[in-house]
Structure 1
Amino acid sequence: MAAEVDPTGLFSDRALLGRSSTADRVADILRARIAEGYLPPGSKLSEDAIGSALGISRNTLREAFRLLTHERLLVHELNRGVFVRVLTVQDVIDIYQVRRLIECAAVRNLGMPPYDLSNAEAAVAEGEKAAKEGDWRELGSANIHFHGAIVALAHSTRLDDLMRGVLAELRLVFHGMENSRAFHEPYLARNRDILAALKAADTVNAELLLASYLNDAEKQLVKRHSEAIAAEPTPSL
């Protein structure tokens, strides 16, 4: 049975709620916590602990849980509670299909330069700092920030909202790779290459690099998830 999550850090997020504590804002906070790796797959979410940390009602929190369940980030188990979802191999395949459709199209349809690449540059710098410090979980976060910045170049709030959910699911895909230098570090170099192509306004090459990146990452993560499932003990009859 998964241990309850200690929502350390949520107290500091209370200020984000403002005076009108809405379920949407609570969902935004919890989604961000999942995307940053603080709430791993299988974690049980305590209504009392989270509600107290954020200073919100039980009904507001339950509505936020419902929203995130609809986004496939949480799952409600009868008589057990609410848990961060554990993804399947098919989930990984589907997430990368969606990423290719969104990210590659965003690059393909950038239009005429110049492009505001400041957020993408900041994400690469964030990744370089994390790599230098050997913080591979933070490097994973920087990678997520980079790809969010790529989609943001499309200047579409709807795409940004969709991508936030996809990238939160991606963090669940990364589970088991959190401390893996061998997995995360090579993709930092590939982010640099994509950024360089965009700086040169070579969107054709940027899209090719991005598509190759996503294909390779999908293969690695599908393999890792398949091996993890195969290693699980077979239930006794």
Structure 2
Amino acid sequence: MISDGALRPGAKLSEQTVAGELGVSRNTLRESFTTLAAEGLVDRIPHRGVFVMDPGTEDVRDLYAARGILETGAVLWGELDEALLARLQDTVSEALAARDSGNVAGMGNANQRFHRELVTGCGSTSLLTEMDRILARMRLVFHLMTEDPRFHARYAVRNAEVLDVLQTGDRERAASLLRESLVAAREELLAHVG
């Protein structure tokens, strides 16, 4: 529910309500909250409750530092076979179609899948698991940009540029473009948070 955007940053999570919605016991839910807190998706505040993480500037910096290493490393050293390039092309096409139809959520979802697909080229379940955690936290960050529907559109175009260069085999240039895109997104988000 958090990674799908159904729960907004700062939302208080009532044990009774959430347990009822999910059909689980409160003990099971408490264990889940512990896991989510460890992953940085919720804050547990003693005597106040559990809240969906409301990311600040340090969270944005941390996430983009991790993404810069993980994603550019994937572009430089991952396996870029035809199947992966085809999946990347599908996600770029989906993002651009969503942009053209004004579907902001569709753009955001496709853009996140593009970045996840880059990491699948590493062939590492550990790295992919970490990328999934990062992307779940990124959903919370992207809530900051709900007033600017063009935010995701700009990065759909940048992803298309990265893919175009990847398809030529120039990994270093693709990694450089990707790094520039990540830095630009980070700076936009920091300006919005700050």
TM-score clears 0.5 = yes
8 Å contact from structure 1 (residues 113, 201) kept in 2? no
- How many angstroms apart in 1 are the aligned matches of 2:182 and 2:155? 10
Aligned 1:141-156 pairs, distance under 5 A: 141-156=109-124
Secondary structure, counterpart of 1:40 in structure 2: coil
Give, as a single letter, the amino acid of the residue that structure 2 aligns with 1:188.
A
Secondary structure, counterpart of 2:143 in structure 1: coil
Q: Whose helix fraction is larger, Structure 1's or Structure 2's? A: 2
Q: 2:26 is matched with which residue?
A: 58
Secondary structure, counterpart of 1:117 in structure 2: helix
Structure 1 vs Structure 2: percent identity of aligned residues?
A: 37
How far off its partner does 1:143 sit? 1.2
Secondary structure, counterpart of 1:210 in structure 2: helix
Give, as a single letter, the amino acid of the residue that structure 2 aligns with 1:95.
L
Alignment root-mean-square deviation, CA:
1.7
Structure 1 unmatched runs, 5+: 1-32, 227-237
How far off its partner does 1:179 sit? 4.3
Q: 1:201 is matched with which residue?
A: 169
How far off its partner does 1:47 sit? 2.1
8 Å contact from structure 2 (residues 79, 121) kept in 1? no
Q: TM-score, normalised by structure 2?
A: 0.92
Secondary structure, counterpart of 1:143 in structure 2: helix
Q: TM-score, normalised by structure 1?
A: 0.76
Alpha carbons of structure 1 residues 97 and 63: separation in structure 2 relative to 1, 3 Å: same
Q: Deviations over 1:74-110 (max 9, x none)?
A: 0112222211011121111111111011001111102
8 Å contact from structure 2 (residues 79, 123) kept in 1? no
- How many angstroms apart in 1 are the aligned matches of 2:155 and 2:7? 23
Secondary structure, counterpart of 2:145 in structure 1: coil
Q: 1:173 is matched with which residue?
A: 141
Q: Deviations over 1:125-177 (max 9, x none)?
A: 33123212212133122211111111111111000100111111111111231
Aligned 1:49-128 pairs, distance under 5 A: 49-111=17-79, 113-114=81-82, 116-128=84-96
- How many angstroms apart in 1 are the aligned matches of 2:89 and 2:79? 19
8 Å contact from structure 1 (residues 45, 81) kept in 2? yes
Aligned 1:120-139 pairs, distance under 5 A: 120-139=88-107
How far off its partner does 1:111 sit? 5.0
Q: Name which structure has the greater RCO, CA cutoff 8 Å, separation 6+.
A: 2
How far off its partner does 1:181 sit? 2.5
Alpha carbons of structure 1 residues 158 and 131: separation in structure 2 relative to 1, 3 Å: same
- How many angstroms apart in 2 are the aligned matches of 1:111 and 1:60? 39
8 Å contact from structure 1 (residues 115, 153) kept in 2? no
- How many angstroms apart in 2 are the aligned matches of 1:53 and 1:155? 36
Q: Deviations over 1:110-129 (max 9, x none)?
A: 25754622332232233123
Give, as a single letter, the amino acid of the residue that structure 2 aligns with 1:186.
R
Secondary structure, counterpart of 1:56 in structure 2: coil
Bigger radius of gyration: 1
What is the aligned length? 194
- How many angstroms apart in 2 are the aligned matches of 1:75 and 1:198? 39
Secondary structure, counterpart of 2:17 in structure 1: helix
Alpha carbons of structure 1 residues 39 and 205: separation in structure 2 relative to 1, 3 Å: same
Give, as a single letter, the amino acid of the residue that structure 2 aligns with 1:90.
E
Structure 2 unmatched runs, 5+: none
8 Å contact from structure 1 (residues 39, 84) kept in 2? yes
Q: 1:222 is matched with which residue?
A: 190
Secondary structure, counterpart of 2:84 in structure 1: coil
